A and B are shown apart, each in its own frame.
Chain A
Amino acid sequence: MDALINGLIEILKPIGITEPVFQFMLVNAILGVSIYLTLYCGLFSLANAGFMAIGAYVGVILTQSFDLPLFGALLGGMIAAGLIAIPIGIPTLRLRDIYLAIATIGFGEIVRIMILNFDDFVGSILTLVQGERVRFTLIEGARGIKGIPKLTESWHLILFLLILMFFLTRLHHSRLGRAMTAIRQDEIAAASMGINVVYVKNVVFIMSAILAGAAGVFSGHLTRIVTPQAFGFDKTVDILAFAVLGGTSTWFGPIVGGLVLTALPESLRFLKEYRGVFTGLVLLVVIVYLPGGLINTTSWSKFIRRFTNRPESPPDENSGHSTTRAN
């Protein structure tokens, strides 16, 4: 296994992909799948960075303060993210598109602020309970936890991703996977076919949170420092960009999106300075010109047709809110 990875790194090195970059590519592929699961079910949830933060902090605390191995921390981080997803998901998943997006953005910010103030908060409660002034330091607020050993190895990530891929192929042929497709296409029809929409949405949300938590644990033990700033709205947008670039019609898309979008700024040096501009452009250009993402045959054929001026298929007559024809 090690020889294989080293060989791969040697091949990738000339285009600027070193081992740390390679590892981040894999972490981001996991994040891409995390947001893909909710999008595939028609849920526009932007809570991934929040769950990633929860996973990262729980995982790092488990290895640092409780001396657990990485595997234990991984399980702990995933369970913590999954457990927190339950009380968040049950009320918020009733909301539809824009409202769900706002609520989940709000959740991410609340997580960030809670991390910032966690020590003070616990400290003041302890002070109240014990009657004397107590200074509590566990997660260090804005300074973050520093000096985390680099425990994540490439083969951990590859193994995790392989298991995840296996799980995803199984998922799509399972009852749950089919229910997810049905809900995305028409929620009311799915409900009337006897699918428990609330249950499926919540299960998908929890799975997505667990994956984000796992990615958080891995990345915490890669970057060797976790700070609340690393899990802000920017992170959510990055994660969204993985899924949008790769496309969400297959599970393969977001994985490719995560890999490509992480590798590109490294292999094209000039992009590094304009990283943010690049992410914004990718989101904008892909959603406008290539709505199905990179891994989608129909969107490519449409894209090519746009530039070769071949006649398009006749427009859909019952399309709802078209304004272009009206003008």
Chain B
Amino acid sequence: MDTLLQQVVNAISLGAIYSLFALGYSLVFSILGVLNLAHSAIFMSGAFFGVLAVNQLGTPLWLAFILAMVGAGLLSVTLEFVAFRPLRRRNAPRIAQLISSIGAAILIVNIGQLIFLQQFGRTEAYFPRELVSLDPIIIESLSIRIAPIRMIIVVVSLLLTILMQYLVGRTQIGQHMRAVAFNQQTAALLGINVSRIFVFAFFLAGVFGGAAGMFYGVVFLNVTPFIGEDVALIGLTAIVLGGMGSIQGAVLGGYLVAGLQVISVVLGGSSYRNAVVFLLLFAILLVRPQGLLGQSESTRA
């Protein structure tokens, strides 16, 4: 059953989630020039809102998905107001914003933990199996099994990625976002409402992070307050690999990291799966910090 092709299929569905997650990181970084380390907490919140909606409200999966995306988006906007805007007002150094985002991440994860305990009695919750898993589609001639939900995930995440690409590349608000990313002051002088663009970017990043979290929860069925930690560094690796602040780079990076993980599981066992990713992160930072598709830092900053 575990043929190479099967592993490729697994890698693609995992890569879809990673790239969706990395997109949010990348969007905020390209527009604000700040790394939002609380993005992994947003990811967790997406899965959490989804599991809450399914279990406590009894909503169907698609509605839970939308609720998760909107909830995570709003939480992300809250972050912008609480953790980033006051520091930007003061012209605080980038490190200060990094620290406040770490603080926000810890805060959200721990509040999540408290709510988990209150709602479910422990720090773990499950998507009901019958809601999620239909019979896997088995392709006999290639001997691979695909769970339908994984196919849906890949398709939806591709659609979302294309939507993002369209939004940033073709619409007016995307043009404004690119202008702000290029130079905030010039953009402001040209009449762009910079803080509204920031709010929008955070909302979009939150929506993508929340969708990724929801998918992650659906694929692995169980949700804990700590699932953000699983992907925090993987997402960072993806955007560093693809080039910080590049949308195509984030998507490419997400799939590459997933592929690498699956290959290292096949070759060396699952305990080295993350070590390989972090060694890659290290190597990329040292050899080509601008990533595969990124520009060099001097032209960016």
Contact = CB atoms under 8 A, between A and B. Distances in A.
Contact of A106 (B100, B104, B233): B233
B69 interface: no
B296 interface: no
A110 B279 contact: yes
A320 interface: yes
A122 to B, nearest CB: 14
B88 A323 contact: yes
A106 B272 contact: no
A92 B285 contact: yes
Contacts of B102: 237, 240, 283
Interface stretch (B79-87, B132-140, B200-208): B79-87
Interface stretch (B46-54, B90-98, B164-172): B90-98
Contacts of A291: 90, 92, 96
Contacts of B271: 113, 116-117, 120
A321 to B, nearest CB: 6
B266 interface: no
B275 A282 contact: no
A117 B275 contact: yes
Contact of B286 (A91, A101, A117, A282): A91
Interface string B176-195: 00000000110011000111
Given A99-B289, A102-B281, A283 B114 contact: no
Contacts of B34: 98
A171 interface: no
B103 A110 contact: no
A277 B107 contact: yes
Given A244-B99, A280-B105, A284-B83, A103 B285 contact: yes
Contact of B285 (A99, A321, A326, A327): A99
Interface in B187-238: 188-189, 193-195, 198, 229, 232-233, 236-237
Interface in A269-327: 274-277, 279-284, 287-288, 291, 316, 319-324, 326-327
B126 interface: no
Interface string B226-260: 00010011001100100000000000000000000
A19 interface: no
Contacts of B91: 316, 319-322
A120 to B, nearest CB: 7
A288 B110 contact: no
Contacts, number: 151
Contacts of A110: 275, 278-279, 282
B129 interface: no
A232 B274 CA distance: 14
B35 interface: yes
Contact of A113 (B98, B100, B278, B281): B278
Given A110-B275, A114-B275, A117-B275, A237 B96 contact: no
Nearest to B272: A117
B109 interface: yes
Nearest to A284: B103
B113 interface: yes
The winner among A120, A244, A324 for most chain B CB atoms within 10 A is A324
A251 interface: no
Contact of A280 (B90, B104, B272, B278): B104
A288 B232 CA distance: 24
Contact of A323 (B106, B194, B285, B297): B194
A98 B104 contact: no
A319 B107 CA distance: 31
Interface in A106-125: 106-107, 109-110, 113-114, 116-117, 120
Nearest to B40: A233
B181 to A, nearest CB: 12
A44 interface: yes
A281 B103 contact: yes
A240 B88 CA distance: 21
B186 to A, nearest CB: 10
A113 B274 contact: yes
Contact of A98 (B94, B232, B281): B94
A144 to B, nearest CB: 16
26 contacts: A91-B286, A95-B285, A98-B98, A101-B98, A103-B285, A106-B233, A106-B236, A106-B237, A106-B281, A106-B282, A110-B279, A233-B232, A237-B106, A276-B107, A276-B110, A276-B113, A277-B107, A280-B104, A283-B103, A284-B83, A287-B99, A287-B100, A288-B82, A288-B87, A291-B92, A326-B185
Given A116-B271, A323-B198, A327-B194, 11 more contacts: A92-B286, A95-B289, A109-B233, A113-B271, A113-B274, A114-B275, A279-B110, A280-B107, A321-B88, A322-B185, A324-B89
Top 8 nearest A-B pairs (CB, nearest first) are: A283-B103, A280-B107, A276-B110, A326-B188, A280-B106, A284-B103, A113-B275, A277-B110
